[in-house]
Amino acid sequence: MGEFALKEVAVVGMQLQTLGIVGGGAWGTALAAVARRAGRDVLLWAREPETVAAINGTHCNAVYLPDVPLDPAIEATSEFSEVATCDALLIVTPAQHLRDIAGSLQPYLHDGQPLVLCSKGIERKTGRLMSQVAAEVLADATIAVLSGPSFAAEVARGLPTAVTLATAEEPLGRQLSHALSSPLFRCYWSNDVIGAEIGGAVKNVYAIAAGIVVGKELGKSAQAGLITRSFAEMARFGVALGAALETLIGLSGLGDLVLTCESEQSRNMSLGVALGRGASTAEVLSERLSVTEGVATANAMVEIARARGIELPIAEAVHAVVTGETTVDAAIGALLSRPLRSEAG
C-alpha cells in the first residue's frame, strides 16, 4: 500500500506540459496537432531531415500530410537527445521498428518517464505486444498505450475522434488523457493495456480481409458477415491472451475494427481491395511509403494462435493470401465451405 501511494503521489505531481512525438509519419504528425490543440508544447522527432526542415520552415509535413497546415508552435528535431527532454513521449514509429527506436532513446530517458505507445502491431520475430517490447528495452519507463478508431488525416484536420488511453496506473492514465484531450479529441482511460493493444493490432489483419471482400465485389452482406465473424475471432484471441472482453467491445477493439474495415483510407483495407482485384502483396507494398502493419501482424498472430490452440480461420486465410501460400479464390472457398456450427460456439 505504501509503495503504491508513493508512486501515485509522484504521478499526480508530475507536469505534462511538454510532449515529444517520436515519429514523423502521418499519425505522428496528427498527434502533434492533437497535443498542440490540447495546449501542450510539442516537439516532434523525425528521421528524415527534409521532414524536420518542412515542419520547422513551412509548418506542414509535405510527404505524409501535405494538405494539413500545422500550428507554427510545433517544432521538429532529428535528435533523440532533444525530444527525450519532454515530460512524456508518444512513440509513433512502425511496430516492427519499435525495439530499435526504443534502444536508441534509452540513453536519454529519465526513470519513470511516461511513454505512450501509439503503434498498432505485434512484433513479428518474437510475437510480443508493443508494451512487452518496450518493457524489455526500457525497464524503467512507465508504459501507456493509445489506440482506437482514428484516421490520421481526419484527426489532423480536427474532426471529432474518440480513443482509448490504457495504462496500469489510474492516476497516470487520467493525467495523460487530460494532457491530450480537447473537445475534438477525447481520450477514455482504461487499465487494460493488453486489451487496447490487441484490438489495435489484430484489426489490421481483418481489415485486409474486409478489403478482399470489397475488391472481389462480394457485396455488403458479405462484408457485414466478415466484420462480425472477425470480431468473434478478435475476442477469442484477445481473451486467451489476457484481454478483458469489455475492452475489446470498446473503442480500441470493435470501434477500430469497424473503422478500418469500412474505409479505404485504411492502408490495410486498401491492400485487401488490391488483392481482391488480382494484385500481389509485393506489388502493392512496393508502391507505398507508409507501412501496412497487418501483413507482419498476420504472421505473428497466426503463430501465436497455433501455439495456443486458438481457432482463427479468417486470420489464417489472410496470412495465407498475403504470403502467397494460397489464392484469394481458394481462401474464400475454404472459408465458405467450413462446417456449420453454433454462432456462440
pLDDT tens across 299-323, in order? Answer: 999 999 999 999 999 999 999 999 9
CATH topology of domain 2-191: Rossmann fold (3.40.50)
Has residue 8 got a pLDDT over 70? no
Domain residue limits, the chain = 2-191, 195-336
Q: State percent of the chain over pLDDT 70.
A: 96
Q: pLDDT value at position 117?
A: 98
Between these two residues, 287 and 199, which has the higher pLDDT value? 199
Residues assigned a catalytic role: 203
Domain 195-336 homologous superfamily, CATH: N-(1-d-carboxylethyl)-l-norvaline Dehydrogenase; domain 2 (1.10.1040.10)
**Beta strands 142-147 and 161-166: pairing type?**
antiparallel
pTM reported for the whole predicted model = 0.92
Lowest mean pLDDT: which of 6-15, 141-150, 254-263? 6-15
Predicted confidence (pLDDT) per residue in 162-172, tens digit: 999 999 998 99
> What rounded mean pLDDT belongs to the chain?
93
